[in-house]
């Protein structure tokens, strides 16, 4: 079968399953909102403690969400939730924790140095790199504009 690129594209588009976009958006909204609501609940709980100020309560809330995401990733539950929730689990801090923990867990058989150490940031590394680079470029532009 000898097809041109445009013929193949039409063939592939005709036979590809359609995504339920509205359903996926609703599930992402509900799961993401649920994570954010749970986070707010944690913040209110931590803020009620007399010895924690607001900044410490926020930091503890973030650490708790990261711990829960890594724990759920480690026992294989996070991926099952993300399969249904889509971007709802991937956008908040829980998704970033999962993107760091997953490669580390997958490569632990290769050892701590060449496995975990070398591959822990394979997914999150580009996010850190380009986020830092974008922040530096924005800071430079802001500094140059403030000179005038």
pLDDT at 1 (0 to 100): 57
Contact 96, 127 (CB under 8 A): yes
Count Cβ atoms within 10 A of the Cβ of residue 32 and give its class: 0-12 exposed, 13-18 middle, 19 or more buried.
Answer: buried
pLDDT at 13 (0 to 100): 78
Contact 28, 87 (CB under 8 A): yes
Answering whether pTM is above 0.85, one says no
Weakly modelled stretches of the chain, pLDDT under 70: 1-3
């Amino acid at each position: 079968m000898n097809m041109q690129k445009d013929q193949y594209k039409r063939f592939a588009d005709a036979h590809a399953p359609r995504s339920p976009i509205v359903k996926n958006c609703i599930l992402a909204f509900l799961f993401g909102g649920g994570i954010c609501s749970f986070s707010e609940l944690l913040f209110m709980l931590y803020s009620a403690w007399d010895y924690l100020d607001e900044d410490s309560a926020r930091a503890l809330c973030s650490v708790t969400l990261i711990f829960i995401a890594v724990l759920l990733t480690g026992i294989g539950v996070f991926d099952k939730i993300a399969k249904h929730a889509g971007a709802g689990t991937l956008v908040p801090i829980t998704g970033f924790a999962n993107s760091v923990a997953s490669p580390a867990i997958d490569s632990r058989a290769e050892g701590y140095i060449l496995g975990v150490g070398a591959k822990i940031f394979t997914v999150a590394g580009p996010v850190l790199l380009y986020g830092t680079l974008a922040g530096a470029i924005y800071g430079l532009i802001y500094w140059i504009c403030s000179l005038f």
